[in-house]
Amino acid sequence: MAQIVPLSEAVAEHVRDGDVVALEGFTHLIPHAAGHELIRQGRAELTLVRMTPDVVYDQLIGMGCARKLVFSWGGNPGVGSLHRLRDAVENDWPAPLELEEHSHAGMAAKYAAGAAALPFGVLRGYAGTDLVEHTSVAWITCPFTGERLAAVRAIRPDVGIIHAQQADERGNVQLWGIPGVQKETVLASARSIVTVEEIVPALEPRPGGVVIPSWAITAVSPAPGGAHPSYAHGFYDRDNAFYARWDEISRDRTRFQEWMQRHVLDTADVLEYRRSLEQLEAAR
Amino acid sequence: MSGDGPAYTPEEMMAVAAARRLEDGDTCFVGIGLPSKAANLARRMHAPDCVLVYESGTIGAKPVHLPLSIGDGELAETADAVVSVPEIFAYWLQPGRLDVGFLGAAQIDRHGNLNSTVIGDYGHPKVRLPGAGGAPEIGACCKEIFVMLQQSPRTFVERLDFLTTVGFGDGAGARESLGFPGAGVTQVITDLGVLEPDPETKELTLTTLHPGVKVEQAKAATGWELRVADALREEAVPTEAELATLRALKTTNEEEAA
């Protein structure tokens, strides 16, 4: 059974320095509130895993939480570069960042293998590319057909963190809309934290809904608005203007640090974070 | 830009040229930006049954607005099916079910191989680019690949800084030996014209120029000695209807700003 606890407690109890941590959510339901809590609690030396390390990992990397990044596409979707990620890779600021990069299909296969507790995933990929020299991939021969295939090591994070729309009072979780790779992330991880928009007495089945039973989750934490600037289908839209603004905020180290201080370090939780952004908006 | 007909930008010409090359009923794997514009234009013009597939797992999306990310809510709301990320790659893309895959890149070489990883040395890059994303398997598995990028000596290079996505490798026969199901790059649509692979050697060859563009411009914008087809065609000027439809395609941000 999942414990239902405040997010600060879930992070304090389940995420340790040096852990392999995966925060997933493919454009939709990105667990920003949990990312902010990792930053507030000063987690360090993390190996961060994520297919699309967008703004949430730009913040974690820029704040010095990461030692290594395992990923497949690192950009600000529809906007451009992730300036903190680039600064870490190009200039070692605030610290050097080791990269292990894959294709999306490779990452998806790694998560699916992790969820199945298999040692590796298999796909037709990587062949002929320069990725082979710079990442962890091996070749196997199909025992039935003799075909040569790419094998990628399973992702087995210490902690998997996702955001969902709802949990019930027993900690069963449901998410709907674009489901991404969230179910695989929870099932592949030794421990898991699910932040939710709301806790309801009972889950109502939704079209395309993904239900994760309480007993497969370690902790459930309420975090209303916890996906912002990403979105929660049926609750609020993607804050596209914020992604565009992030380009300016993150371009400069000092401006980035000031923003993180004001909106993350000086706020106690997601409610205060949202209030701080509303105040900023009102002052514009 | 041209003497007759409406004025248009090189980028609009690219979107129109790409849209025209999609057939009604084509299933296409679309990214954000120009490819998404082109595919959405095609769906509103001659190819209403063109099926848009975004890597977020939205199959048959019919967005009213142009998406800002591949996972905008509108894509899920208008899709025929919404599937998980492992499913979109393992069940839909990689078996070779999709007709056309759109790709962009920072660099392309004469055999249509693409770089979207780094400019400069991998260990100490001059520019760290976003990386592979879905591109390697899109390039390997879609039946055809349409590449869209601006043509310049910086983008059309003799040698890639990093090979992210295989086009034709080192030439004829390379894809077959790698076991890729798709035919590879069939159209490279630039701001100057269109390149297609030579049927024998698989070297990209200039086959079409956009209106008003000279062969010399295309040659000067290419970092290798560009081959030019004997029967060089000229792309038709965008029609009023194409331009009006293209310009009506807006993201929600653009709509709010207007």
pLDDT in tens, A158-206: 999 999 999 999 999 999 999 999 999 999 999 999 999 999 999 999 9
Q: ipTM of this model?
A: 0.95
Q: Match domain B10-257 to its CATH number in 3.40.1080.10, 3.90.550.10, 3.40.50.10540, 3.90.1200.10.
A: 3.40.1080.10
Q: Match domain A3-102+157-248 to its CATH number in 2.60.120.10, 3.40.1080.10, 3.40.720.10, 3.30.590.10.
A: 3.40.1080.10
- Strand pairing report for A159-168 and A138-141: unpaired
Closest-CA residue of A relative to B119 is A90
Interface of B with A in 130-159 (CB under 8 A): 130-137, 140-141
Q: Which residues of A touch B89 (CB under 8 A)?
A: 104-105, 108-109, 123
Closest-CA residue of A relative to B31 is A78
DSSP secondary structure string for all residues of chain A: --EE--HHHHHHHH--TT-EEEE--SSBS--HHHHHHHHHTT--SEEEE-SS--HHHHHHHHTT-EEEEEES--SBTTTB--HHHHHHHHH--SS--EEEE-BHHHHHHHHHHHHTT-SEEEES-STTSTHHHHS--EEEE-TTT--EEEEEEPP--SEEEEEEEEEETT--EEE-SS-TTHHHHHHHSSEEEEEEEEEESSPPP-TT-EEE-GGG-SEEEE-TTTTTTSBBTTTB---HHHHHHHHHHHHSHHHHHHHHIIIIIT-SSHHHHHHHHHHHHHH-
Residue B251 touches partner A, C-beta closer than 8 Å: yes
Q: At B1, is the pLDDT very low, low, confident or very high (cuts 50, 70, 90)? A: very low
* Interval A127-156 mean pLDDT: 96
Taking CA atoms, B145 is separated from A114, B179, B197, in Å, by 31, 16, 11
* Interval A115-141 mean pLDDT: 96
How many residues in chain B? 258
Rounded mean pLDDT of chain B? 94
Closest-CA residue of B relative to A107 is B86
Residue B96 touches partner A, C-beta closer than 8 Å: no
How high is the pLDDT of residue B5?
65
How far is A56 from chain B, CA to nearest CA, in Å? Answer: 15
How far is A73 from chain B, CA to nearest CA, in Å? Answer: 5
Q: Which residues of A touch B94 (CB under 8 A)?
A: 105, 123-125
Residue B258 touches partner A, C-beta closer than 8 Å: no
Identity at A186, one-letter amino acid code: V
Question: A108 and B135: CB-CB below 8 Å?
Answer: no
Q: Which residues, at least 6 apart from A143, have a Cβ–Cβ distance to it below 8 Å?
A: none
How high is the pLDDT of residue B4?
60
pTM recorded for the entire structure: 0.96
Phi, psi dihedrals of residue B44, rounded to the nearest 5°: -90, -10
Question: B85 and A26: CB-CB below 8 Å?
Answer: yes
Taking CA atoms, B18 is separated from B15, B205, B236, in Å, by 5, 17, 12
Q: Which residues of B touch A148 (CB under 8 A)?
A: 179
pLDDT tens digits, A101-112: 999 999 999 999
Q: Is B108 in a helix, a strand, or coil?
A: strand
Q: Which residues of A touch B162 (CB under 8 A)?
A: 130
How far is A198 from chain B, CA to nearest CA, in Å? Answer: 19
**ω into residue B136 within 30 of 0, thus cis?**
no
Question: B164 and A178: CB-CB below 8 Å?
Answer: no
Cα separation of the two ends of chain A: 45
How high is the pLDDT of residue B68?
82
Catalytic residue, candidates B55, B137, B203, B242: B55
Taking CA atoms, A268 is separated from A33, A179, A246, A265, in Å, by 11, 29, 21, 8
How far is A51 from chain B, CA to nearest CA, in Å? Answer: 8
* Interval A42-63 mean pLDDT: 98
Q: At B204, is the pLDDT very low, low, confident or very high (cuts 50, 70, 90)? A: very high
Asked if residue B2 has pLDDT above 70, the reply is: no
Q: Where are the domains of chain A?
A: 3-102+157-248, 120-153
Query: What are the residue ranges of helices labelled H in chain B?
Result: 10-20, 34-44, 73-78, 85-87, 135-141, 174-178, 215-220, 240-248, 252-257
* Interval A240-244 mean pLDDT: 93
Interface of B with A in 44-73 (CB under 8 A): 55-58, 67-73
How far is residue A39's CA from residue B20's CA, in Å, rounded to a whole number? 49
Cβ-defined contacts of A272-277 (< 8 Å, 24+): A273/A33, A273/A36, A273/A228, A274/A225, A274/A228, A277/A228
Q: Verify whether residue B55 is a known catalytic residue.
A: yes
Per the DSSP assignment, residues forming a β-bridge with B189 are B148, B194
Question: B86 and A51: CB-CB below 8 Å?
Answer: no
How far is A109 from chain B, CA to nearest CA, in Å? Answer: 7
DSSP secondary structure string for all residues of B11-71: HHHHHHHHHHTSPTT-EEEE-SSHHHHHHHHHHHTT-TTPEEEETTTEES---SSPPSSTT
Q: Where are the domains of chain B?
A: 10-257
